Structure 1
């Protein structure tokens, strides 16, 4: 009995700890299911997995064809994110299929898909559902005879070095298949693209027809942010996540040389090539995974308030032509805490069928946004609406309904200045009638 009481006491003391650890205030995905073709990937890609684990993610590795795997149980999802490092899988095990993965994303969860030169039709179908189309040729790879790693100088130039994204310390090594973005999907964005000298083809055969994908139209890494703020990362190279490419210290050819002759000259004069201590893969993948898993660019809005100017209480109804103030606090998740979000493009609408008022909110640089405006001279049921969408950030959609009434009969001015001519005509008519009556009665 004493031991039972001791266990109950310990469990009760741990409840606050668990409630903090799994607080909904922390937006970061913590439970991650990683599906692989072979458990050897755990060691060959350990740097990438170690980076996730060090940031607090709980990784669970399963074979993609394991008959016991599933994304949900009793209607509840078991994981916050899904990583598909299984490019050659022909059929998922358990209850997982393309439809369940789409439902997983539609429920607000995140997804990483890494294909390869041997990508199966199943992985291609998953990518297509996300707005990405891999090269139809199953043997095609991205080839670049100018921007490639020197270690691949005598090879087929499929190990390319790309830095067509953001300023980075070193180019990213990529070896795999390219893809194009579906023009009908406005939510998919290109993050890492090939250079203008790249093309997609089978490196083991001669070109008989022009390649279907060429130049910067080839996307190497793409991302999607769904309308429900779920995030997706799609790439055609599983090896770019590997330890080998993250620690590669090979010389990398200079970018955008523009002519094969200059490229040959650089091969003759190695001192003109760029030397990097290691590739930019680790930095690139770490930062982009922070975005995918909501450690970056995640916004929340709190303390949405409105009231009349000079008052503090929120009224149940406004009157036309009232002066009011609307305010909201917006914060961004930094990976460890909520920090004030500072921007000058947050707007509020006072909306009924269409916006009657559109006002840009001013900020105090501490996350507090506010604006003052006059209620329009139209009565009805209005809404305060904030629809904030900025590239790279989760979207905010705030709305609050409020009725607007006209003046009551006792709230109008007794004599309106604009009606003085009408008042004068009425009294002049009465005075004229009185004078006419006197004159008519007493005149001979």
Structure 2
């Protein structure tokens, strides 16, 4: 009976696993949404609906649900995770800080939204991703020059942020014209973590403090060092979004008009919906995901890949690179892809030329050094998944019967040898027969 139960469970899980993240379909499909109140499901329904419209299967669960689990029988049940539970002190079921970090380390994606009074657990998750929230639990980001004009916001905690990261691949090619409304806590980036990037920064006049108390000491976070929204692309190409505002994803701010202080332009709709939608596309690999296929190398004029090269051989190297568009793969076009012919250090570094259809190629001569070499591509570009390709190939010296019979460069030595023999012969005759 137990075997039948396990079989039925695996049968139910198989369709989910088949539709999960894969090299041929890199978009996350099934996403777990952890919330601390089911009211969030309705107050943030526009954001969730945009995900569902794009084909995602959202599983809404309370963050303290005792039956929570990210994996079963060694297989992950979800491709992505959204944590909209800033006040949760402890996750239910088998989920904890280590489980979430393992989830990301295995290549899955994460969206984390904090808020005022965020729990230590949420702060620890963000800190592990390179984002350090203000230690004061009551602190919020205040901006007396870049706030959003509002009759109900006398503390200037509703910020109209427009200092975006300049990256079309992360934020989309269409520029966000209206400022993004943000109310929440700020964070700084860990300088030791080079993988985390500020996507939305505070203005130079902003600071982080408790708006209900007078400042007795300088704020710990000030100016453009405050990050409102940050992203991380891990070395395994997992993607993370850290936001200091849960309200930024809400229907109310999606639909709200915005006018930034000091500006006469009033936008009928904030940039929140466009900003959040575009950045979620990047987080869940609908954009900026690369793959490399058909890596080939051969001698010039040949089609078969050899098992070994000889020094000074002329060879050709080629690879095809494609970018995922959310629905299918299209050729990736760039002029900064390089290949290394590597042994301990690069002996040859060549730019690959592309034909505009995804094919990158080059040709070069094998150096006059024998040993075990590698063709290496280590491609990293802002917003794109990294490509790391390597292919090992040995290089041998000339065999004894492959050298030229007479080496041109050795003619002077040949001449000196024969002249020495001729001189000795003439000297011997003169010495023997001269009286």
TM surpasses 0.5: yes
> For the residues of structure 2 that align with 1:102 and 1:51, how far apart are their CA atoms?
26
Q: Deviations over 1:404-433 (max 9, x none)?
A: 011111111111111111111111122223
Choose from 277, 294, 315 the match for 1:286: 277
Partner of 1:420: 411
Does 22-31 or 242-251 show the bigger shift?
A: 22-31
Residues 21/237 of structure 1: CA separation in 2 closer, same or farther (3 Å cut): closer
Tell me if 1:100 matches 2:108.
no
Residues 19/204 of structure 1: CA separation in 2 closer, same or farther (3 Å cut): closer
Residues 283/75 of structure 1: CA separation in 2 closer, same or farther (3 Å cut): same
Deviation at 1:154, TM superposition (A): 5.0
State the secondary structure of the residue aligned to 2:48: helix
Spell out the pairing of 1:116-265 with structure 2 (5 A cutoff): 116-152=115-151, 154-165=153-164, 166=166, 167-254=175-262
> Would you say the 8 A contact 1:66–1:94 is kept in 2?
yes
State the secondary structure of the residue aligned to 2:211: coil
State the secondary structure of the residue aligned to 2:394: strand
Partner of 1:385: 376
Partner of 1:259: none
Deviation at 1:312, TM superposition (A): 1.3
Partner of 1:83: 82
> Would you say the 8 A contact 1:348–1:385 is kept in 2?
yes
RMSD: 1.8
Q: Deviations over 1:344-371 (max 9, x none)?
A: 1100000000000011111111111111
Does 117-126 or 204-213 show the bigger shift?
A: 204-213
> For the residues of structure 2 that align with 1:108 and 1:65, how far apart are their CA atoms?
24
Partner of 1:408: 399
> Would you say the 8 A contact 1:253–1:274 is kept in 2?
no
> Would you say the 8 A contact 2:20–2:79 is kept in 1?
no
Partner of 1:265: none
Q: Deviations over 1:200-256 (max 9, x none)?
A: 11111121222111111110000111111111000110010000000102433346x
Residues 398/113 of structure 1: CA separation in 2 closer, same or farther (3 Å cut): same
Deviation at 1:151, TM superposition (A): 2.0
Q: Deviations over 1:150-179 (max 9, x none)?
A: 224652111110010054220000000011
TM-score between both structures, scaled by the size of structure 2: 0.92
Tell me if 1:54 matches 2:53.
yes
> For the residues of structure 1 that align with 2:133 and 2:20, how far apart are their CA atoms?
39
Choose from 337, 349, 353 the match for 1:346: 337
Partner of 1:43: 42
> For the residues of structure 1 that align with 2:251 and 2:217, how far apart are their CA atoms?
36
Does 142-151 or 66-75 show the bigger shift?
A: 142-151
> Would you say the 8 A contact 1:152–1:159 is kept in 2?
no
Partner of 1:269: none
Residues 189/154 of structure 1: CA separation in 2 closer, same or farther (3 Å cut): closer
How many residues matched? 413
Partner of 2:310: 319
Q: Deviations over 1:258-296 (max 9, x none)?
A: xxxxxxxxxxxxxxx211110000000011001100111
> For the residues of structure 2 that align with 1:274 and 1:59, how far apart are their CA atoms?
37
> Would you say the 8 A contact 1:383–1:402 is kept in 2?
yes
Tell me if 1:29 matches 2:37.
no
Deviation at 1:23, TM superposition (A): 6.1
Deviation at 1:21, TM superposition (A): 8.7
> Would you say the 8 A contact 2:178–2:258 is kept in 1?
no
Listed as ranges, the gaps of 5+ residues in structure 1 are 1-10, 256-272
Deviation at 1:101, TM superposition (A): 0.6
> For the residues of structure 2 that align with 1:194 and 1:343, how far apart are their CA atoms?
32
> For the residues of structure 1 that align with 2:19 and 2:190, how far apart are their CA atoms?
41
